[in-house]
Amino acid sequence: MLNRIDLSRSDLNLLVFFEVVLDERHVGRAAERLALTPSAVSHGLGRLRRLLNDPLFLRTPRGVLPTARAMELAGPIADILARARDVISTAEPFDPKNSTRRFTIGAPDGVTAVFLRPLLAELHRAAPGIDIGVRQLLPVPGEMSPERAWRTAFGDLEAGAMDIAVIPSFHIPTRFHARSLYDEDFVIAMRVGHPFADDPTLERYCEMQHLVVSFTGDPHGFVDEILATQGYSRRISLTVPNFMFALAVVADTDLISALPRRFVAMHAARFGVISLESPFPPTTFQLNAIAPRAAMMDAGLAWIFDLLAPKRAGSHNRLP
């Protein structure tokens, strides 16, 4: 892509400009991340366009769109930057059995409650000196676009605030390494003996009083969107900020709640909570473990990433 003559007189920081603008699809937001002015980023892109002999990004009313050539270059440039970052970083030999490192993993609490227990069991067996920090991740309030809802997680990863994030997003920028952890859908959780279990129809479901897990207190969730398409609605009697508290409340009340299937399967029994299949069409989503490509050059991080999200053997992951 770049010949010797170009490299001898070119600023390779321009590739960083390319990476960030490709991710943000907006020069202004890219400038904010780079702590530069939009004019400085535009000037840098102009130099990069001349260097690579392509417009790279086309302006639109909402930002910029990458050209076909830019999309072709995205992978190679991400690899170049990952290797460059690795060259200037220091790395010590990693021995999991003797390591005393600490890794921070970020995820929504309902996801952490699924992967943490088996992960800790594996660490106790293979790396008893390694410690784990858990960081709760929240979507951007009011953000309906999936590729934007978890954008703070990407920034925190690049800033080193955490090592790995596990998020329900299909939109992973090319500068991140990603692997599917598991697929998830929802079941209806309720206390033992709840009358809804005797007649779990959609009509009866809508007659019940509901609990919704909402980090902001907003009672409107994805279930309400599904019900609205069928001409139904429900009453949200209570919102709580996390999934484990939701189980505790459901166990002691007549409230019912749509909760993640794997989370309920692992933790409902201790609360005396049961679950039924959803009476409305299920929504399935994928949980992805992600880490910066550059950081994956660290043997220790690569090891803990593989432990958390091992490559699939057939159709099953080791964790959870």
Residue 318 within a domain? no
Q: What CATH number is given to the structural domain containing 57?
A: 1.10.10.10
Please check whether residues 130 and 266 belong to one and the same domain.
no
| Better-predicted residue by pLDDT, 113 or 11 | 113
Whether the CB-CB separation of 119 and 131 falls below 8 Å is answered with: no
Q: What CATH number is given to the structural domain containing 165?
A: 3.40.190.10
Evaluate the omega torsion of the peptide bond into residue 320 and state whether it is cis, within 30 degrees of 0.
yes
pLDDT exceeds cutoff 70 at 180: yes
pLDDT tens, position by position, 254-275? 999 999 999 999 999 999 999 9
Distance between CA atoms of 145 and 175, rounded to whole angstroms?
Answer: 20
Report how far apart, in Å, the C-alpha atoms of 247 and of each of 91, 170, 298 are: 43, 28, 38
Once rounded to an integer, what is the mean pLDDT over residues 210-218? 90
pLDDT exceeds cutoff 60 at 9: no
Please check whether residues 264 and 191 belong to one and the same domain.
yes
Please check whether residues 59 and 137 belong to one and the same domain.
no
Whether the CB-CB separation of 134 and 185 falls below 8 Å is answered with: no
DSSP letters spanning 103-120:
EEEEE-HHHHHHHHHHHH
Please check whether residues 16 and 159 belong to one and the same domain.
no
pLDDT exceeds cutoff 90 at 134: yes
Distance between CA atoms of 168 and 70, rounded to whole angstroms?
Answer: 26
Supply 226's token pair: 């599904």
pLDDT exceeds cutoff 80 at 316: no
Residue 220, pLDDT score: 84
Cα distance between the two ends of the chain: 41
Domain boundary among 87, 113, 133: 87
Residue 163 within a domain? yes
**Number of domains present in the structure of the chain:** 3
Identify the domain containing residue 120 by its residue range: 102-182+285-308
pLDDT tens, position by position, 276-294? 999 988 788 899 999 999 8
Please check whether residues 49 and 30 belong to one and the same domain.
yes
Whether the CB-CB separation of 181 and 166 falls below 8 Å is answered with: yes
Distance between CA atoms of 186 and 203, rounded to whole angstroms?
Answer: 18
- pTM comes to 0.69
Residue 94 within a domain? no
pLDDT tens, position by position, 186-201? 999 999 999 999 999 9
Residue 92 within a domain? no
Please check whether residues 55 and 130 belong to one and the same domain.
no
> Phi-psi region for residue 18, left (φ > 0), alpha (ψ -120 to 50) or beta?
alpha
Which of 144, 150, 149 has the alpha carbon at shortest distance from 166?
150
Give 296's DSSP letter.
G
Residue 319 within a domain? no
Please check whether residues 254 and 117 belong to one and the same domain.
no
Average pLDDT, the chain: 87
Please check whether residues 151 and 10 belong to one and the same domain.
no
Please check whether residues 120 and 56 belong to one and the same domain.
no
Q: How would residue 79 be classed by pLDDT, with cut points 50, 70 and 90? A: confident
Residue 316 within a domain? no
Residue 169, pLDDT score: 79
Q: How would residue 1 be classed by pLDDT, with cut points 50, 70 and 90? A: very low
Residue 13, pLDDT score: 81
Residue 83, pLDDT score: 75
**Residue that the structure tokens 């960030």 belong to:** 20
Residue 315, pLDDT score: 38
Residue 61 within a domain? yes
Which of 184, 218, 30, 22 has the alpha carbon at shortest distance from 107?
184
pLDDT tens, position by position, 81-130? 877 766 655 455 789 999 989 999 999 999 999 999 999 999 999 999 99
As a whole-number percent, the residues of the chain with pLDDT over 70 amount to 89
Residue 146, pLDDT score: 55
Residue 97 within a domain? no
Number of DSSP helices (H) and strands (E) in the chain, helices first: 13, 12
Give the containing element (helix H, strand E) for 301.
Answer: helix 299-308
Please check whether residues 177 and 190 belong to one and the same domain.
no
Q: How would residue 171 be classed by pLDDT, with cut points 50, 70 and 90? A: confident
Please check whether residues 42 and 162 belong to one and the same domain.
no
